[in-house]
Amino acid sequence: MTDAFSSIDLAQELTLALEMADAGDAIAYAYFEKQNFTLSRKADDSEVTQADRETETAIVDFITRLRPTHAIYGEEHGHSGNADSPWKWVIDPIDGTSNFVRGVPVWATLIALVHDVEGPVLGVVSAPALHQRWWAARGLGAFANGREIKVSDVATIAEAQISVTFNAGWEKIGGTANLIALQQRAYRARGYGDFWQHMLVAQGSVDIAIDAIGLAPYDNAAVQAIVEIAGGRHSDRLGIRDYTQNSAISSNGRLHDEVITSLKI
């Protein structure tokens, strides 16, 4: 641990984050089961529901009450808390809203604790409709439903299982052909999407996950923490470790540099 952690107990913060996830799950899953929410569009044309807003409100209220000295950044309500704090909670109340509104169970609440120098050091990804929860904190390990996890040791693209999310962002930069070529070199290719593909990397089930272009910090922060603590790497498409970038690639680490090189335009 560096001096950045001298004033914080990550075990306590992880306990708090798991409690936040419980509170978020209770709200979001109730809406998902009943499918009785209002749906609207934000300025960027992305979908948003009552469940997104109410879930984030519950988590923000939790942080404001119990960690008033920390900063907060959420997808729906933006920045709040103490802007001068080196510690920031980054929240995506429902990652996979398009799935959520169609009754597809691949959605999750993402909660991360980020240090302004160290980056994401704690993450919780809770997917109640999948009956899955992943969590990790630096120095404490990474877990899926209480079982410790780590990335795979697959050493070649030819042996690798890969998940790719094609979108207009990749097409705009001329990257689609390189994605297809990389898929064709891999042993097996699928498109699990969103948080799930990265969690599959963290638990060693998938070796490479390539996300869409057009991401936001709240899409990446919790995912990056868990993948890294499980022994993998998480970067943008150029290989930069920065959760604020608009693209994300995770891998078991051994394949990362080759993937980045393969995708360069």
Domain ranges, ordered by start, for the chain: 3-148, 157-263
Q: In this predicted structure, what is the pLDDT of residue 43?
A: 60
pTM confidence score: 0.95
Note whether 170 and 178 are within 8 A (CB). Answer: no
Overall CATH class of domain 157-263: alpha beta
- The rounded distance, in Å, linking the Cα atoms of 222 and 194 is 12
Q: Over the stretch 93-105, which tens digit does the pLDDT of each residue have?
A: 999 998 998 999 9
**Structure tokens of 34?**
């009943």
Q: Over the stretch 120-150, which tens digit does the pLDDT of each residue have?
A: 999 999 999 999 999 999 999 999 999 999 9
Smallest CA-to-CA distance from 220 within 48, 86, 90, 49 is with 90
Q: Over the stretch 190-248, which tens digit does the pLDDT of each residue have?
A: 999 999 999 999 999 999 999 999 999 999 999 999 999 999 999 999 999 999 999 99
Q: How far apart are the first and last CA of the chain?
A: 37
- The rounded distance, in Å, linking the Cα atoms of 205 and 214 is 25
C-alpha distances (whole Å) from 39 to each of 35, 46, 50, 97, 174 are 10, 10, 7, 10, 33
6 torsion bin: left (phi>0), alpha (psi -120 to 50), beta (else): alpha
Superfamily of domain 3-148: Fructose-1,6-Bisphosphatase, subunit A, domain 1 (3.30.540.10)
What confidence tier does 42 reach under pLDDT thresholds 50, 70, 90? Answer: low
Q: Over the stretch 166-201, which tens digit does the pLDDT of each residue have?
A: 999 999 999 999 999 999 999 999 999 999 999 999
